[in-house]
Structure formats: structure tokens, C-alpha cells
Amino acid sequence: MTNKTHYNDFAQTLKVRRDDHSLGFQLKKGTQEFVEDLLAILFPHFCKEMFYTKEEIESRIVLLERDLKRLLIPLLIETSLNLEDTVKQFMQTLPDLHDKLWLDAEAITSGDPAAESIDEVILAYPGFTAIAIYRIAHEFHIRHVPIFSRLITEYAHQITGIDIHPGAQIGTSFAIDHGTGIVIGESTIIGDNVKMYQGVTLGALSVDKNLAKSKRHPTIENNVVIYAQAIILGGETVVGHNSIIGGNVWLTTSVPPFSSVYQESKITVRLKENDKHTD
């Protein structure tokens, strides 16, 4: 039996599955390039090559719109969505998107003593990168392009270690400090001026598939700070405004505004036996 004959049945199976689940050539790679090109338009900090004049920027926006149409064709072909309308609606959000991201960058800069400038935050902070990519993805999520929005946020997850579902609703001036390991679930609602640290999980109490369309993740009101490794679960859990959630807290019930929630722990320091009598 030749190798060609040996693989015949397997090749046929792969062909059938490719035909049934084909979404275009290199969609994942194209999505990542789209995100990089858009960030480079919004912020020169992300540019691979500089363009300065208004005309150059405008031409890049036109090219971005063309590329977006190409990427969305296989995703919208079996839906009722109109390609031209979907692309036009997204492109019209760019001025507002840019303004929101500047507020995010300012919030991170003003809230982190280690940040020397807003340029440093945009250039080097993974928290800002994750927020920026989330805000792009969210615009496609609310326009019912779920696969594209998930590809966008998974790119952010890949390069930053921060996992924000594109369906989450996040207000203005959102700050992530450090950020590695943060998970924000699909139905999470976050207000304005919220800050969180690494390892925070805003998750669900149950992963039952029947609850897929329900409010499964918590609500965080305005002006809340959530410290490292805190876990807040449940769709009915509300953290009231101006509250502080301490590190390592496990929270499944609501707390009123102006609360301080901390995990109690006991630390014991004891000298070794042979060190007790040393000066």
C-alpha cells in the first residue's frame, strides 16, 4: 500500500470538514494584521513605519477599510448583515474610540507612580494594549460579528496574558496595572474610573451551557479598585461604587457602595533554633 492510498480516506475527511468550515484564507493572521494597522493609525507608538501628513493618515484609513471588507466577507456571507453597512458603522466609531483610549491611557498614567508619561503607557504597558484591543473587538461584538471579535481579543490574550471577552461592557477611564492573568467574562459590566491589578477574575458561578444568554458575570460600579488575585463571581454580584476589593478576596455576594473588602490572613515569623542566641 502506497502512502498516497494510505492517506486517501483521511484526506477526504479533511476536505469535507474544510468545505463545511472554511472562513477564508489566513483569517487569524489577517485579523491580527488589521488590529496592528488600526492601532498604528490611532497611535504612532504602534507604527512600523512613520507617516506624518494628514493625507498619509487618510490614505491609511482608506486601506484599512478595504482590508476590513476583505476580512469580513466570509464571516458575513451567510448572515443577514450588510457588509458595506457593517464596515461603515465601525469606521465611524474611530474618533470616539480614539478619545476613549486616550482617557484609558491617562487613567493608567495618573494612577501608577511608576509611569513616567502617557507615551510610556501606550508604548510599554500591556494593560493599555489589552484595553485598546478589547475596545476594537467590542465594536464588532455589538454589531453581531462574534468570530471576528473573538479573534481580536484572543490576539490581545496571546500577547498580553489578559483575557477580556468582547461582550463585556466597560466604561471610560479604565486602568489595568500589570495585568497578567486578568479574566473578564462576557456579561461583565464595569463602570467608569475602575482600576484592577494582575490576576483578577470577573467570572461566572456556573458554566452551564443553558445559561449562555443570561447575566452570568458581576457588575462593578464606578470608582472601584480591585487588587491582585481577587475573584468576583456571579451575575447578581454587584460591587458598589467607590469600593475597594483587597487582594485574594473571593466574593460571590454584593457589597454596598464605599465598602472595603479584605481577606483576613495570619502571618507568623519565627526564628530558627540555631539563630535565637546570635547577636
Per residue of the chain (279 residues), what is the pLDDT tens digit? 456 667 888 888 878 877 766 665 589 999 999 999 999 999 999 988 777 789 999 999 999 999 999 999 989 988 999 999 999 999 999 999 999 999 999 999 999 999 999 999 999 999 999 999 999 999 999 999 999 999 999 999 999 999 999 999 999 999 999 999 999 999 999 999 999 999 999 999 987 777 777 899 999 999 999 999 999 999 999 999 999 999 999 999 999 999 999 988 888 898 887 665 555
Verify that 122 and 33 share a domain, yes or no: yes
- Whether the pTM exceeds 0.85: the reply is yes
Domain count across the chain: 2
Verify that 92 and 185 share a domain, yes or no: no
Task: Say if 247 falls within a structural domain.
Answer: yes
The C-alpha atoms of residue 274 and residue 263 are separated, in whole angstroms, by: 34
The domain boundary, picked from 145, 162, 179, lies at: 162
Verify that 65 and 34 share a domain, yes or no: yes
The C-alpha atoms of residue 133 and residue 164 are separated, in whole angstroms, by: 9
Please list the alpha-helical segments (H only) found in 21-171: 27-42, 54-76, 83-92, 94-111, 118-124, 126-141, 146-160
The C-alpha cell that represents 112 in the structure block: 501608577
Domain that holds residue 102: 23-162
